[in-house]
Amino acid sequence: MRETPRPQGTAGDSRAELPQRRPGRALAHTTGASGSGTPHRSDGRPPHTPRGARHTGPDGRPGTTPPVPGRPVFLLPAAATALFAVVTWQVLVAGPLARLDERASRALAGRGPTPLTEFLADLGNTQVAVPVLAVAMAYAVWRGRRAQALYAGLAMALVPALVVPLKLLIDRPGPLTPETGYYPSGHTATAMVAYCGAALLVHRRLVPLAALLTVATGTGLVLRGYHWPLDVLGSGCLCLLLVLLLATGPRTR
C-alpha cells in the first residue's frame, strides 16, 4: 500500500511554507537606503576597490584635478619679459623682425578715417589717461583701499622712469620723421597702466575693457604713423609687468 509522502517542515509547523525574502538584505543593496550608504555595502563604509574609493573632480568626472599653484602667474611675466627682450634686440640690431615691422608700418600708416584714428591715438595722452586713473584712485581711497591706490600711483610714476631711458638708449627714429626716441611707445605705456590700473581699483570685471582701450590706443598710433608696430608691442610687454604687479599686490575687488 503506497503511502502519501508528508510535507517536510520544521518542528511544530502544521504545513509547508514557501521561503520568504528578507527585507533587510534587499535594502542593503538599494542605493540611498538607511544604513547602506553605497550600493555595495550595507554598513555605509566605502568599498575597498580602487574604483569605488576614487573621488570625483570638480567637473564630476572620476579622479581629481590637482591644482598647480603659481604656474599661470609665473608664465605670463616670463613670456612678456622674453618677448620684450626679443623685440628690443631686433630693433637695436635692425634685424629681420624690425625690417618687417617697418614695411608693415608703411603699409598701414594713413589707413582708416582720420578723426577716428586720431581719437584712438589720443587715448594715450597723459591729459586723457591719467585723470581716469586719478578718479579711480580717489574712489579706492573713499572705499578705504588706500594701499591699492598708492600702488596704482607708483605704477604710473614708474612709466616715465622706465620708458624715457629706453627711448634715449635705443634712439629709434619715427615712421614719418627723422626724429628719434620712439621705442618704446610712451602713449601705449600710459594708456595700459592708467586704464588697467583704474579697472583693478574699481572692479576687476573692467579689466577686459581696459585692455580693449589699450589695444585701441596702439592701433590709432600705428594707423596715424606716430609709432612703429614694434614700438607698441614692446611697450605693452614692458608695462604688462607693472599691471601684473598691481594685480598681485594688495587685493582689489
Rounded mean pLDDT of the chain? 80
Residue 169 is classified by DSSP as H
Residue 158, in any domain of the structure:
yes
The domain in which residue 214 lies consists of: 76-247
C-alpha Rg value of the chain to the nearest Å = 35
**Is residue 25 a part of any domain in this protein?**
no
Say whether pLDDT at 194 is over 80: yes
Query: pLDDT value at position 21?
Result: 52
Q: Does 119 reside within a domain?
A: yes
pLDDT tens-digit series, residues 97-122: 999 999 999 999 989 999 999 999 99
The yes-or-no verdict on residue 30 having pLDDT over 80 is: no
The mean per-residue pLDDT over the stretch 51-66 comes to 48
Torsion sign, CA atoms 69, 215, 213, 152: positive
Whether residue 46 is predicted with pLDDT greater than 90 in this model: the reply is: no
Q: Which pLDDT belongs to residue 73? A: 59
Query: What integer is the mean pLDDT of 156-181?
Result: 93
Whether 67 is covered by a domain: the verdict is no
Backbone phi, then psi, for 182, in 5-degree steps? Answer: -105, -10
| pLDDT classification of 168: cutoffs 50, 70, 90 | very high
- Mind listing the pLDDT tens digit for each residue in 211-231? 999 999 999 999 999 999 999
Per the DSSP assignment, residues forming a β-bridge with 62 are 56
Domain-embedded: residue 23: no
pLDDT at res. 71: 52
* Nearest of 40, 27, 77 to residue 241 by alpha carbon: 77
The verdict on residue 46 lying in a domain is: no
pLDDT for the residue 251:
61
Predicted local confidence at residue 250, as pLDDT: 65
**Is residue 54 in a domain?**
no
| Cis amide linkage into residue 72, ω under 30° from 0 | no
pTM summary value: 0.70
CA–CA–CA angle 170, 174, 180 (5° rounding): 45
Q: Look at residue 25 and tell me whether its pLDDT is greater than 50.
A: no
More confident residue, 177 or 97: 97
Domain count, the chain: 1
The answer to whether position 124 is within a domain reads yes
- Please, are residues 174 and 226 in contact by the beta-carbon 8 Å criterion? yes
Grid coordinates 509547523 are at which residue? 13
User: Residue 19 corresponds to which cell in the numbers above?
Assistant: 521561503
Q: Would you state the pLDDT for residue 26?
A: 45
